[in-house]
Amino acid sequence: FFSLVAEVCCGLFVILILSNFWFLGVLYLLWLYLDWEMPCRGGRRSQWVRSWTVWKYFREYFPITLIKTSDLSSDHNYLLGFHPHGVLAAGAFGNFCTGSSFKNLFPGLTPYLHIMPIWFSCPFFREYIMSAGMVSASKESVSYVLNNKGGGHASIIVIGGAEESLNAHPGGLTLNILKRKGFIKMALKHGAHLVPVFCFGENELFKQVANPKGSRLRTIQEKLQKIMGFALPLFHARGVFQYSFGLIPYRQPLHTVVGSPIPVQQNLNPSTEEIEQLHALYLQKLRTLFEEHKRNYGIPEHKSLVFE
């Protein structure tokens, strides 16, 4: 969906440049140059955009539900690790970029969903995603959000990233997290409390073409991911009037459970050992969160998370 909308926006920009209104395109390029760093400086959210009626129908389609397990004080800043990525991270977008569910459950906190910087290079599209509350996933951007001295900011990072989307098969519970420790270091440097978040149902929204590790398809996808920075999972779901084939996600309930915060003391120069210890604690809390809630959302008792 993001790719489609981004392509449309780029197409409109090209048409504008080639039309009699080319000077508007030139003015926008000047604006783009002057505004280039904004995605790394908290973005430019719009409550009007975040409250569009279409997002209400979007959330009700699945439906999307946000579950609170513990209070998050607005006196602190938080780094929320969202799992799993799924194909499109629909749960992350639905919960943190639309409506007022997060605001009602966690008053005083402002959520910032960090996404790949490449999306902010697309004309016009960048303005929309910033208005929805999305910002760059760069280190500078995360630091900007978590550096709020008064607290009340929450960075949401989809930890598994593009690589994890290639594991997004129905019933899949594999998370790419063992080597991902940058978010731990950021939490330590800013004293941001860590919060594990798990979205039950995210991997059930689409069916992906079989791509086991070592297969030719998976090898090609991994090479393309390293070159382009984002993955290209081959997926399908349902159509508008039939359920056999299409790109519309299946109507699978998404239950996003926000765990309890892990207190983090600020450490401007954390050692490797300190990062490893906090990372291990985070994995433990994430696994506990999953085990405590999996029975409520149809996960068989014998299934558990797989970290790789």
pLDDT single digits (tens) 184-214: 999 999 999 999 999 999 999 999 999 999 9
Checking if the pLDDT of 268 tops 80, the result is: yes
pLDDT at 229: 74
pLDDT at 2: 61
Backbone angles phi, psi at 256, to 5 degrees: -100, 110
pLDDT at 60: 95
Q: Residues 16-57: pLDDT tens digits?
A: 778 877 778 788 889 899 999 999 999 999 999 999 999 999
pLDDT band at 5 (very low <50, low <70, confident <90, very high): low
| Cβ–Cβ < 8 Å for 238, 204 | no
CB proximity list for 230: less than 8 A, separation 6 or greater: 116, 118, 162
Among the listed ranges 79-93, 161-175, 219-233, which one has the minimum average pLDDT value? 219-233
Buried b (16+ CB within 10 A) or exposed e, 20-49: eeeeebeebeeebeebeebbbebbebeeeb
In angstroms, what CA-CA distances link 62 with 237, 248, 293? 13, 11, 19
pLDDT at 1: 53
Q: State how far the Cα of 154 lies from the Cα of 111, in Å rounded to an integer.
A: 5
pLDDT at 118: 87
pLDDT at 291: 98
Token pair 């906090």 in the structure block, residue: 278
Establish how many alpha carbons lie within 13 A of residue 10's alpha carbon, considering only the half-sphere containing its beta carbon: 10
Percent of the chain's residues with pLDDT above 90: 77
Spatial CA neighbour of 64 closest among 156, 201, 158, 185: 201
pLDDT higher for 287 or 235?
287
pLDDT at 227: 80
Q: State how far the Cα of 149 lies from the Cα of 272, in Å rounded to an integer.
A: 26
pLDDT band at 224 (very low <50, low <70, confident <90, very high): confident
Based on its alpha-carbon atoms, the radius of gyration of the chain, rounded to whole angstroms, reads: 20
DSSP helix/strand/coil, 153: strand
pLDDT at 261: 98
Backbone angles phi, psi at 253, to 5 degrees: -55, 135
- Tell me the domain boundaries of the chain: 37-307
Q: Residues 290-303: pLDDT tens digits?
A: 999 999 999 999 99
DSSP helix/strand/coil, 297: helix
Amino acid identity of 123?
P
The backbone region for 38, taken as left when phi is positive above 0, alpha when psi lies in -120 to 50, beta otherwise, is: alpha
Spatial CA neighbour of 105 closest among 91, 95, 114: 95
Token pair 């459970």 in the structure block, residue: 257
pLDDT band at 242 (very low <50, low <70, confident <90, very high): confident
Q: Average pLDDT of 232-241?
A: 88
Spatial CA neighbour of 291 closest among 259, 264, 243, 265: 259
In angstroms, what CA-CA distances link 275 with 22, 179, 237, 262, 272? 51, 12, 40, 14, 5
- What pairing do the DSSP bridges indicate for beta strands 254-258 and 193-200? antiparallel
Percent of the chain's residues with pLDDT above 70: 97
Q: Average pLDDT of 245-263?
A: 95
pLDDT band at 282 (very low <50, low <70, confident <90, very high): very high
Backbone angles phi, psi at 264, to 5 degrees: -130, 125
Q: Quickly name the fold that domain 37-307 has.
A: Glycerol-3-phosphate (1)-acyltransferase (3.40.1130)
Q: State how far the Cα of 32 lies from the Cα of 208, in Å rounded to an integer.
A: 36
The neighbour count for residue 213, using CB atoms within 10 Å, is 11
pLDDT at 296: 95
pLDDT at 7: 59
pLDDT at 28: 84
pLDDT at 6: 62
pLDDT at 307: 97
